[in-house]
Structures are given as structure tokens and as C-alpha cells.
Structure 1
Amino acid sequence: MGQTALRIKKATYPAFNLLSGLFIRLFNPFKKGDFIEINGHLGSVEHKGLKSTTLKNIEGEEIQISNTLFYTKHLHNLTLENIVNIEFRLDVSFSEDMAQVKKHIVGFLEDNINILSSPSPRIFVSKIKNTHVELGVKAWCSIEKYLEVDAETEVHLKEHLRGKGVSLEIKDSEVDQLMMA
């Protein structure tokens, strides 16, 4: 019985996928240029085809998404939801326990009422330098709170990490700000 169900699924999948592509064109849940999240993939819509949709992710890579996913998984059209991302970099000393640093960052972002939990924030290694690791942090907020969140989150996160004993590299621009204060 299980083999028969698998064969039926394999036989009907191409037709369902094509039908999903037609529904996408008919109902327009997103358009070219919209920023969407589907099944863990995040990116801007580059092309809507009959069998698949092409997204360009944050790193600039193109991802092919089977159109069936748009009718079997939850679609977030972030363009329609009026949310934007904030992004900043943190220079963390090699001597730090990176798993613990990540835990501190995640905890800080979860406690910030202006940071959205979906799409989930991302923490990634941006660059490896001679004395430190440059971590990238991407989080999401409502467009109404963007200026406030963009202006304050990085500063408060650095204060939070330093309060937890995390050693951060100080950039020249930060030294200038400290000297002017």
C-alpha cells in the first residue's frame, strides 16, 4: 500500500507543481521584486515560472523554489507586511566562546520588543580578521519602528555584550565618538 501511494504522489507531483504555477500567476500572492520567506528560504522574487520561482537571497545567490511549496508551506510576503531588516557588524575577539556570544546576541534580540521573531534573526560570520571575527547580525522590525531600531539596537547590543564580559574590538569611528563625548 505504501509503494502505491508513493507512485501516485510521484506521478501527480509534476501536474500539481504546474497547477501551482498557474495559481501563482492567477492569484498573484507576490510579484517580481517582492521580498518573501518560504520554507526557510528568504529573498527577493526574480522570476515566476510555471514550474518554479527564482529568488535572490541576501547573499546574492539565486534559489529555485518549486511552486508546489507556495501551496503546501506558509508564505510570508515581507513587502506586503511592511517590515524591513536591520543589519550591523560586531567585531568579537578570537578569545571569546562564540557559542556563548551567539547565545547572548539571540537573548538580547528576543528580549527586544521591537525586533520581530519571524522572520527569525540571523547571526553569521562575515569576515575573519587577524585578531577578531566580524559577526553579521540581521534582524527584522516594522517599518514604523525602523529609525528607532536602526539607531539604537547596535549600540545597546554592544553595551549588553560588554556587560556580559564579551571582548569587542573598538572601531576608529567608535573611538572618535568616545573622545567627543
Structure 2
Amino acid sequence: MKLNTENVTNYAETFIKVLIDYSPKLISAFLILFVGLYAIRIINRLIRKLMVKRELDPTLANFLSDFLLWALRVLLFVTFISKLGIETSSFVAILGAMGLAVGLSLQGSLSNFAGGMLIILFKPFKVGDTIEAMGVSGTVSEIQIFVTKLINGNNQTIFVPNGSLSNGTIINYSLQGIRRADLTLSISYDTDIKKAKDLITEVLNNNPKVLKTPAVEVSVKLLTDNSIQLAVRPWANNADFGSVSSDTLESCKQAFDTAGIFIQPFLKEVSKNN
């Protein structure tokens, strides 16, 4: 096959002419791209510093800065292809269709995303709080966009979906700073109630971790068939709650032993027919 040098020359001249005509658009498009990426990085850094200076919640600050970063990148990309001469209307329509399809297939994830936004904005709890929700309890270690991470007493990590968490009941044990322990001690009917209550009150007053205000409460809770149940309700700081509960039970048992008061065990009634 014989090569036609005249055609090759014509093609080369046409290519060079198109390249010369198109080069200003190409150069300006890539210039916008590189300058835009650099500017986005600077803007994102300034926004992060501003949110830290305003003492914004770290979780919310990270989310807003990441959202702004990707929004600016998408805007820059649309500007870049528009500068190249590519029609953006059809491109935007394709993105919209893709977004609709992805949204329909990820309804659960979008629900969790919306729940994460509600948690971040309204702050029913924060990192470090001890909460109970969705049948689990633990200390909040991280609030992510889709899930909240809890660490329970066994050092197990629990991931709770934000969609269910934001729509359910949340018990925040850390919000008020102090907690009340609800303990029960059972004594026999032969025991002097006043003496038992005085001993318990003395035990609570001698514990430095028990708060003086609000005042402790020792009262008769219930009269059962075989015992008198006393309600013991001391208040403590959140950090001391566990030790106050266990120390109160141990010290009350020791005080009862010294005073000759016996804690009445629980007796289960059994039918004679059985």
C-alpha cells in the first residue's frame, strides 16, 4: 500500500491548527484545575482553624470541613470540563440520575446519615458520655456519620446505627454530672427498722464519695411476706457511681453483722402440690 504524503501533510496541518486553536482553552482549563485545588486546600485549612477557634464540636467540625471540601471539588470539576468545551448540562443530568439510583439503593444508609446529622446538631450526647439506648449501654468513644461507637464495661465495641439511635429513647447518664444509686436491703420483721436505717445512714455519711447534697435517702420500700425491704439511695459523681454502689452494700453488710442484724434472704414460695 502506497502512502499518500499529501494526505498525511493535510492531516498534520489540520491537527496542528486544531491544537493551536484549542490550546488556550486547554491551558486555561488545567490552570483553573491546579489553582483551584490549591485554593480549596487553603480554604479548607482556614475553615478548620476557624471552627477550632470557635470551639465547635470536633465531630461537627470534621464533617462540615469534609463536606465543604468535596462540594468545592465537584464544583471545580464541573468548571474544568466546562472550560474544556464539554457540555455540562448532560453531565449534570447524568450525575442527577446516578444520585437518584444510589439514593434509592442506600435508603438505610441515608437514614443513618440523617440520624448522624441530628445527633451532631442537637447533641443528646457527646464523646465520653455514658449512655443507654437500643438495648445496649456504654461509653461513647466516637460519633461517626453513619454509626455511633460505644465501649461497654467488658471493653467490647458496639456500633449503633445513627438512624435507629436518633429515633429511639436515649438515657444519658453523664449529662447531669451526678447519679443516684437505687439499692435494696432486706431485713427480717424482727429487726428494729429505725436501728437499721440509722446504721445505713451512718455508713453513707462516713463514705467520702457519697454526696451530701442531694441528701441520701433511706426508707421502707416494700413489705413482703418474709422481709422488710429498705430503699437505699445515695448520690455520687459519675466517676464514683460504681464504687459507691459496691462500697455501700459491703459496708452495710459489715455494719449489720456487727450490730447483730441479719439480711433476710429472698425466699421463693413453693406450692404444696408440687
Which band: TM-score by shorter chain? 0.3 to 0.5
Higher strand share: 1
Query: What TM-score, normalized by structure 1, do the two folds share?
Result: 0.48
Structure 1 or 2, whichever has the larger Rg, is 2
Greater RCO (Cα-Cα under 8 Å, separation 6 or more): 1
Query: What TM-score, normalized by structure 2, do the two folds share?
Result: 0.33
Higher helix share: 2
